[in-house]
Copies of this chain bind each other. A is one copy, B any other.
Amino acid sequence: MERTGTPGKDAGTGRLNRRIVVRAALELVDADGLEALSMRRLGQALGRDPMALYRHAAGRKELLAGVVELVLEELEVFPDDTDWQAQLRRMAHELRRVCLLHPNVVPVLVTGPLSTPLGLRPAGTLKPLEQILGTLIAAGFTPVSALHVYRAFYGFLYGHILNELQELVADPDENEALLRLGLQRLPLRDFPHLRRMAPELLEYDGERELDQGISILLDGLGQQLAVSTGR
């Protein structure tokens, strides 16, 4: 089997392994989007026949699960901090950071769990759940309460990230024109408010929005905890 003269840094030389394959997949997705990830394209990028990839990933879907796992591995884990609220805030910003680095992965990161029962998910994708459980249980929450907080927290977080990624645009000027035009096109009778909110819509600060959202959540949680403790 001749392998010399194949283009690319590591492509075509040495044996593949799962990590190499998944990493190349992530690079492809980051560069050209989810739909650009085909087994043929990936095989080409690695200097291999596409069929070779099936030695390292069961199929395209499972490969994408590996990509998600790889992205979540980039989440930094923090030393134990006694302030669980500060911890949650940090985790939120960390997930935001990672998702902003890999915006094209977010759709599959967010919808993947819909088609994979928790018992079948790759361990790496369950790390955030374990992390929050650990943080909250260490802070005195019962496992049930910790789980409820996780659901509310991550529910909001995913929603926020989806919102923020919508605001990412290549060209802000072009976006403004498009938005104003699009809003004008809406029927006045049905959209009296939205039609005149272009300035507000154009002003978006994702980090601040996230901070405010987390504050709302934590305030509300604080109040609920006070209520259930005061009983």
Copies of this chain present in the complex amount to 2
CA A178 – CA B201 in complex, angstroms?
45
Asked whether any CB of chain B lies closer than 8 Å to the CB of A133, the reply is yes
Residues in B neighbouring A175, C-beta threshold 8 A: 117, 119
Q: How far is the CB of A206 from chain B (nearest CB, A)?
A: 10
Q: How far is the CB of A32 from chain B (nearest CB, A)?
A: 13
**Within residues 132 to 187 of chain A, which ones have a CB less than 8 A from any CB in chain B?**
133-134, 137, 143-144, 146-148, 151-152, 154-160, 162-163, 165-166, 169, 175, 178-183, 185-187
Binds B, one of A18-26, A36-44, A78-86, A121-129: A121-129
The answer to whether B223 and A219 have CB atoms under 8 Å apart is yes
- In the complex where A114-B106, A179-B118 touch, is A155 in contact with B160 (Cβ < 8 A)? yes
Residues in B neighbouring A52, C-beta threshold 8 A: none
Task: Give the contacting residue for A158; candidates B106, B123, B162; CB below 8 A.
Answer: B162
The answer to whether A220 and B209 have CB atoms under 8 Å apart is no
List residues of A whose CB falls within 8 A of some B CB. 103, 106-107, 110-111, 113-114, 117-121, 123, 126-127, 129-130, 133-134, 137, 143-144, 146-148, 151-152, 154-160, 162-163, 165-166, 169, 175, 178-183, 185-187, 190-194, 197, 200-201, 209, 212-213, 215-221, 223-224
